[in-house]
Amino acid sequence: MDVIISSIGGLFLLLGGIIAIIGGIGVLRFPDFYTRMHAAGVGDTLVTGLILVGLILQMPEWLVVIKLIIILFMTLFINPTSSHALTKTAFQNGLLPVLHKKEEANKGDAGPSTR
């Protein structure tokens, strides 16, 4: 039973790592600020959730589990809030998203599968 749970935890960790790398590539390659924001915001929160749940499933002591849960909740509060504030400020200070697609910027960048 222990082995199964901890291997599920390992799976979560691995998934988190993969999504983290995908998010990183997205932040690097998307064409403008808002799409990058999307990659970073969604990716970050998801990865944090996955990795922390994975760590919880490794079954450390209960004090550690409580700390992990606190960190998880804090990230769930903090991450979307700061993303929201950042995007709002950027928009109000007059940063406009890319509306029409440039030829070279489009190829392989704005992947349709992201949303």
**Residues engaged in binding another protein (CB under 8 A):** 9-11, 13-14, 16-18, 20-21, 23-25, 27-28, 31-33, 36-37, 40, 44, 47-48, 51-52, 54-55, 58, 60-61, 63-64, 67-68, 70-71, 74-75, 77-79, 81-86, 88-90, 92-98, 102, 105
Sign of the alpha-carbon dihedral angle for 76, 115, 106, 23 = positive
Residue carrying structure tokens 């697609």: 101
Closest separation in Å from C-beta 4 to another protein:
14
In contact, 27 and 40? CB cutoff 8 Å: yes
Closest separation in Å from C-beta 97 to another protein:
6
Tell me whether residue 67 or residue 111 sits nearer to another protein (CB atom).
67
In contact, 29 and 38? CB cutoff 8 Å: no
Tell me whether residue 1 or residue 52 sits nearer to another protein (CB atom).
52
